[in-house]
C-alpha cells in the first residue's frame, strides 16, 4: 500500500511538472506583447525593448520557465507587472471567496444528491422515482447562468431575500453578510453539480440492486431502501467518488461563468480580467494553481478508492 501511494505521488509530481510546461508554452504562444501593452501605443521601439529587458522577456524561454517554476515551488507566483502586487497575495484574497463557494456547493450537492439518487434507484419503477429522475435530467439540461439569473430575479429582485451582486468589502469579518452574499451562487452551482451526481448515484445503485447481499439483507426483513443504504451504498461508492472528483474539477472551471453572473470578485472573475488585460504573470499563477488543485483531486480520489475497496488494497 505504501509503495502504491508513493507511485501515485510520483505520478502527481510528474503531472504537475508537465502541466506547468504546457501552461507556460501555451501562454507564450498568445498573440501580443506585454511590454507593448505596458508601454502603450506611443512607446518607441527602444522603450519597448527596455521594458522587455526589465520584465525579463528578452531572456531565453527555458530561463524564464526555470525562474518562474522555481519561485512557484516556494509559493512565489511573481508580481503583476500591471499593478505591482503579489500574485500569491491576490490569489489568497480571491480564494477566501471562491474556496467557501466551492466547498459549500459541493457539500450541499452531496447531502441532497446521494440520498435522492438512492431513493430514485430503489423506486425506479414508481412514480416518485421516475419524477426524481426527470428532475435530475432537467437540472443537467439547464445552463448554470440561466439558473443564476432566475434565482436573482426571484430571491434578490422580487423577494429581496439575498443580495444579487458582489461580496462585502469587510469580507469574512462580517460573517452574516458574507454568507448571505454567497447563498444564491451556492445553490446555482449545487443544482447543476447535484443533478449530475444524482444520476451517477442512481446508476451506481441500480448496479448493486440485484446483488446477492442485497437479497440477503431483504430476506432478513429490511426494505429495499434500507438494504441499499446499509449495504449497497458502500459498494456503489467507488464510481460515486470518481464522478465527485470530476464534478469538483469542472466546478472550479465553471467559476468564471458564475462569478461573472453574480459579479463576484473571486478567482474566476480575476482570471477572466487578467486574460483580457494580458497579465500573463497572474494568468500563469492562477492557471497553475487550478491545475495543481485538479490533479490533487485525482490523487485524493485514488486514495479514497484504496480506502474503500479492500480488493485494491490487496493488490497495492
In the chain, pLDDT over 90 holds for what percent of residues?
A: 40
Given a cut of 70, whether residue 114 has pLDDT beyond it is: yes
Going from the N-terminus, what domains does the chain have, and what CATH number goes with each? 95-315 (1.10.3720.10)
Residue 235 or residue 86, greater confidence = 86
Environment class of 51 (CB within 10 Å of its CB; exposed 0-12, middle 13-18, buried 19+): buried
Q: What torsion, rounded to 10 degrees, do the Cα atoms 281, 282, 284, 289 define?
A: 140
Cα–Cα dist 229/302, whole Å: 23
**Of 213-222, 254-263, 289-298, highest mean pLDDT:** 289-298
| 189-243: pLDDT as tens digits | 999 899 999 998 898 888 887 788 888 888 888 877 778 777 777 777 888 888 8
Other CB atoms within 10 Å distance of the CB of residue 271: 23
- The Cα-based distances of 149 to 33, 142, 263 in angstroms read 37, 12, 12
Environment class of 221 (CB within 10 Å of its CB; exposed 0-12, middle 13-18, buried 19+): exposed
| pLDDT band at residue 52 using 50, 70 and 90 as cut-offs | confident
Mean pLDDT, the chain, as a whole number?
A: 87
| pLDDT band at residue 5 using 50, 70 and 90 as cut-offs | confident
Cα–Cα dist 214/207, whole Å: 11
Looking at residue 110, its pLDDT comes to 92
**How far from chain centre, in Å, is Cα 242?**
14
Looking at residue 12, its pLDDT comes to 94
Residues in the chain: 316
Q: Taking the CA atoms of 263, 291, 82 and 27 in sequence, report the sign of the dihedral they define.
A: negative
**How far from chain centre, in Å, is Cα 3?**
29
Cα–Cα dist 175/179, whole Å: 6
Cα–Cα dist 250/279, whole Å: 24
**Of 57-61, 180-184, 235-239, highest mean pLDDT:** 180-184
Can you tell me whether residue 79 is helix, strand or coil? Answer: strand
Cα–Cα dist 183/107, whole Å: 13
Other CB atoms within 10 Å distance of the CB of residue 35: 20
Given a cut of 70, whether residue 316 has pLDDT beyond it is: no
* DSSP line for 155-220: IIIIS--S--S---TTGGGSHHHHHHHHHHHHHHHHHHHHHHHHHHHHHHHHHHTTSHHHHHHHHT
Cα–Cα dist 225/245, whole Å: 26
Given a cut of 90, whether residue 14 has pLDDT beyond it is: yes
φ, ψ of residue 86 in degrees (nearest 5): -70, 130
| pLDDT band at residue 108 using 50, 70 and 90 as cut-offs | very high
Region 248-256 average pLDDT: 81
Given a cut of 90, whether residue 101 has pLDDT beyond it is: yes
Can you tell me whether residue 30 is helix, strand or coil? Answer: coil
Cα–Cα dist 188/140, whole Å: 12
**How far from chain centre, in Å, is Cα 262?**
17
Looking at residue 246, its pLDDT comes to 83
**How far from chain centre, in Å, is Cα 38?**
32
Cα–Cα dist 194/200, whole Å: 10
Given a cut of 90, whether residue 257 has pLDDT beyond it is: no
| 32-43: pLDDT as tens digits | 667 776 766 677
φ, ψ of residue 79 in degrees (nearest 5): -120, 135
Amino acid at each position: 500500500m505504501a509503495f502504491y501511494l508513493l507511485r501515485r505521488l510520483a505520478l502527481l509530481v510528474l503531472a504537475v511538472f508537465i502541466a506547468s510546461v504546457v501552461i507556460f508554452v501555451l501562454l507564450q504562444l498568445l498573440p501580443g506583447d506585454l511590454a507593448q501593452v505596458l508601454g502603450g501605443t506611443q512607446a518607441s521601439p527602444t522603450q519597448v525593448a527596455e521594458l522587455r529587458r526589465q520584465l525579463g522577456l528578452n531572456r531565453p524561454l527555458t530561463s524564464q520557465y526555470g525562474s518562474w517554476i522555481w519561485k512557484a515551488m516556494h509559493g512565489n507566483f511573481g508580481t503583476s507587472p500591471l499593478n505591482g502586487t503579489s500574485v500569491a497575495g491576490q490569489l489568497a484574497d480571491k480564494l477566501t471567496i471562491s474556496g467557501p463557494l466551492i466547498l459549500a456547493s459541493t457539500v450541499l450537492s452531496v447531502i441532497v444528491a446521494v440520498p435522492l439518487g438512492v431513493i430514485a434507484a430503489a423506486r425506479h419503477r414508481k412514480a416518485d422515482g421516475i419524477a426524481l429522475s426527470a428532475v435530475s435530467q432537467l437540472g443537467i439540461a439547464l445552463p448554470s447562468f440561466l439558473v443564476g439569473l432566475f434565482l436573482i430575479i426571484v430571491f434578490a429582485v422580487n423577494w429581496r431575500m439575498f443580495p444579487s451582486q458582489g461580496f462585502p468589502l469587510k469580507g469574512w469579518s462580517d460573517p452574516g453578510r458574507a454568507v448571505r452574499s454567497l447563498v444564491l451562487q451556492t445553490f446555482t452551482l449545487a443544482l447543476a453539480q447535484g443533478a449530475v451526481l444524482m444520476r451517477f448515484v442512481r446508476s451506481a445503485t441500480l448496479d448493486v440492486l440485484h446483488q446477492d447481499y442485497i437479497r440477503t439483507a431483504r430476506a432478513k426483513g429490511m426494505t429495499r431502501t434500507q438494504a441499499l443504504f446499509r449495504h449497497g451504498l458502500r459498494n456503489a461508492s467507488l464510481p460515486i467518488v470518481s464522478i465527485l472528483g470530476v464534478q469538483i474539477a469542472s466546478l472550479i472551471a465553471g467559476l468564471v461563468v458564475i462569478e461573472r453572473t453574480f459579479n463576484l470578485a473571486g478567482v474566476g472573475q480575476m482570471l477572466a480580467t487578467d486574460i483580457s488585460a494580458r497579465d500573463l504573470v497572474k494568468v500563469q499563477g492562477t492557471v497553475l494553481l487550478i491545475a495543481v488543485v485538479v490533479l490533487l483531486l485525482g490523487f485524493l480520489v485514488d486514495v479514497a478508492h484504496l480506502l474503500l475497496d479492500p480488493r485494491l488494497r490487496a493488490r497495492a
